[in-house]
Amino acid sequence: MSVQSLKKYRRITVKIGSALLVDRTTGLKREWLASLAQDVGTLAAGGAEVLVVSSGAIALGRTILGLGKRALKLEESQAAAAVGQIALAGAWSDALGGHGLKSGQILLTLGDTEERRRYLNARATISTLLKMKAVPVINENDTVATSEIRYGDNDRLAARVATMMGADLLVLLSDIDGLYTAPPARDPNAQFIPVVERITPDIEAMAGAAASELSRGGMRTKLDAGKIANAAGTAMVITAGTRLSPLMAIERGERATFFKPSPTPVKGYKTWIAGQLEPAGRLTVDAGAIGALMSGKSLLPAGVKLVSGNFARGDTVAILSPEGREIARGLVAYDAADAVRIAGLKTAEIETVLGYEARSAMIHRDDLVVSHAGVQGGAGAQGGE
Ligand code: GLU
């Protein structure tokens, strides 16, 4: 089976890597952009809503400013992004306009998807754009992003946007045409994988850390994006964007890896929790707790063996198996200091230790999402109770 036709998808997020759009010497690749805009026009004419997540601001700004290949200081790459983004947005507006499509620029900062209130706000704006039949053209707001507060790669940003908007498909266009059993540039025996049922630890092990000079991503962040997307019921496709009309190339059956969405996707509020990019802490739990989580129960302090990280009440934390594999995520009901004090304790003992009447759960089931891979992979631990 290869990738299915794009025609059945109603809301499609397309992520475009910098190397596809920008040539270091000649700047913007206009012919390529025109061909992609035509593809977007074809999908839109078929009734699909398309969102574009476009990288290329820093790369384009470098070219315009003549900064060459040298490493940039933070403020230089922020300045390059400022110069590049204005040109990039103009180019998209022209290219899509050439096919009768309106477009609107959205620049996101990490907090716009990670903080619940801002997430709802960003979602409302993007929905309104779609209602007005304008193509949202989205990028990270690199001009103010610093290393502590940035997505850093547009693969995960695109996954966060796709799931926030309930897209049924995320397409990652880059310089690699799909997933291989090993990075093909380093291993001549690497086998192409057309379909991934579920991103398991074995699949993750296939991704090397490699990335091209222009992009920040590499296969690692693409699989991270896949986990976010698939958990929320969004299918993902990785294909090479290097040819002209890369979306229609998928339609023609060119090589691409298709990542199936979870058959039991998380919804609404839980999509936001499941896709959080940087959990503020980690709770390692015992087999009994894993069994309880798998059957839809809350996480009680008694099952928590180890607490790490410096989190506040309400922050997202990852729940790890004794082997260190992430099995769930949730909003924690205690701050890190209290969580350490009550880890392993029975509910009745907690009040004595904390000196106040406490909630019984460390993470309430309503604030908890078991991960897509964790459901299957953790099943063996269910007998532990
Ligand atoms: N936001 C960056 C840019 O537009 C690109 C990040 C990425 O390549 O993933 O330059």
Ordered by start, the domain boundaries in the chain are 6-266, 279-370
Q: Is 374 in the pocket of ligand 1 (CB under 6 A)?
A: no
Please give the distance, rounded to the nearest whole angstrom, from the Cα atom of residue 169 to the centre of ligand 1.
Answer: 21
Which pair of structure tokens corresponds to residue 197? 């049922």
Is there a contact between 267 and 366 (Cβ–Cβ < 8 Å)?
A: no
Cα-based angle 95, 64, 173 (whole degrees, multiple of 5): 45
Q: Is 143 in the pocket of ligand 1 (CB under 6 A)?
A: no
d(CA 77, CA 99): 32
Tell me what pLDDT residue 375 has.
Answer: 47
Which pair of structure tokens corresponds to residue 242? 């290097």
Residues in the chain: 385
Ligand 1, atom nearest to 217 Cα: 9
Tell me what pLDDT residue 104 has.
Answer: 98
Contacts 24+ apart (CB under 8 A), 26-30: 26/63, 27/60, 27/63, 27/64, 28/56, 28/60, 28/87, 28/88, 28/91, 30/91, 30/95
pLDDT in tens, the chain (385 residues): 445 689 899 999 999 999 999 998 899 999 999 999 999 999 999 999 999 999 999 999 999 999 988 999 999 999 999 999 999 999 999 999 999 999 999 999 999 999 999 999 999 999 999 999 999 999 999 998 887 778 888 999 999 999 999 999 999 998 889 999 988 888 889 999 999 999 998 999 888 754 444 444 589 899 999 999 999 999 999 999 999 999 999 999 999 999 999 998 988 889 999 888 889 999 999 999 999 999 999 999 999 999 999 999 999 999 999 999 999 999 999 999 999 999 999 888 888 888 877 777 999 999 999 986 554 443 333 322 2
Q: CA distances (Å), 71 to each of 59, 81, 191, 221, 257, in order?
A: 12, 14, 34, 22, 33
Q: Is 246 in the pocket of ligand 1 (CB under 6 A)?
A: no
Q: Is 139 in the pocket of ligand 1 (CB under 6 A)?
A: yes
Tell me what pLDDT residue 3 has.
Answer: 58
Q: Is 56 in the pocket of ligand 1 (CB under 6 A)?
A: yes
Q: Is 77 in the pocket of ligand 1 (CB under 6 A)?
A: no
Which pair of structure tokens corresponds to residue 94? 């022209």
Tell me what pLDDT residue 348 has.
Answer: 82
Q: Is 218 in the pocket of ligand 1 (CB under 6 A)?
A: no
Tell me what pLDDT residue 351 has.
Answer: 83
DSSP β-ladder status, 281-285 and 256-259: unpaired
Please give the distance, rounded to the nearest whole angstrom, from the Cα atom of residue 152 to the centre of ligand 1.
Answer: 7
d(CA 277, CA 108): 14
| Dihedral sign computed on CA atoms, order 306, 307, 313, 318 | negative
Please give the distance, rounded to the nearest whole angstrom, from the Cα atom of residue 220 to the centre of ligand 1.
Answer: 15
Which pair of structure tokens corresponds to residue 79? 């300045």
Q: Is 339 in the pocket of ligand 1 (CB under 6 A)?
A: no
Give the three-state DSSP class for 304. strand
Q: Is 177 in the pocket of ligand 1 (CB under 6 A)?
A: no
Please give the distance, rounded to the nearest whole angstrom, from the Cα atom of residue 249 to the centre of ligand 1.
Answer: 24
Q: What's 279-370's CATH class?
A: mainly beta
Please give the distance, rounded to the nearest whole angstrom, from the Cα atom of residue 192 to the centre of ligand 1.
Answer: 26
Tell me what pLDDT residue 364 has.
Answer: 93
Ligand 1 pocket test, candidate residues 110, 154, 214, most atoms within 8 A of CB = 154
Please give the distance, rounded to the nearest whole angstrom, from the Cα atom of residue 10 to the centre of ligand 1.
Answer: 26
For the chain, how far is it from start to end, CA to CA, in angstroms?
40
HSE, CB side, 13 Å, CA atoms: give it for residue 262: 24
Ligand 1 atom 2: residue of nearest CA: 55
- The residue type found at 91 is A
Residue 58: in which H helix or E strand, if any?
Answer: helix 57-65
Please give the distance, rounded to the nearest whole angstrom, from the Cα atom of residue 138 to the centre of ligand 1.
Answer: 11
Strands, E assignment, the chain? 11-16, 22-23, 27-28, 49-54, 102-108, 134-140, 169-174, 179-180, 192-193, 195-196, 235-240, 256-259, 281-285, 304-309, 316-320, 326-331, 368-370
* Fold that domain 6-266 belongs to in CATH: Carbamate kinase (3.40.1160)
d(CA 272, CA 113): 8
The conformation of residue 72, written as its DSSP 8-state character, comes to P
- The residue type found at 232 is A
Tell me what pLDDT residue 78 has.
Answer: 94
Tell me what pLDDT residue 354 has.
Answer: 84
Q: Is 18 in the pocket of ligand 1 (CB under 6 A)?
A: yes
Q: Is 216 in the pocket of ligand 1 (CB under 6 A)?
A: yes
Q: Is 142 in the pocket of ligand 1 (CB under 6 A)?
A: yes
Please give the distance, rounded to the nearest whole angstrom, from the Cα atom of residue 248 to the centre of ligand 1.
Answer: 24
Ligand 1, atom nearest to 55 Cα: 4
Please give the distance, rounded to the nearest whole angstrom, from the Cα atom of residue 288 to the centre of ligand 1.
Answer: 43
Please give the distance, rounded to the nearest whole angstrom, from the Cα atom of residue 221 to the centre of ligand 1.
Answer: 13
Cα-based angle 130, 132, 135 (whole degrees, multiple of 5): 45
d(CA 304, CA 207): 31
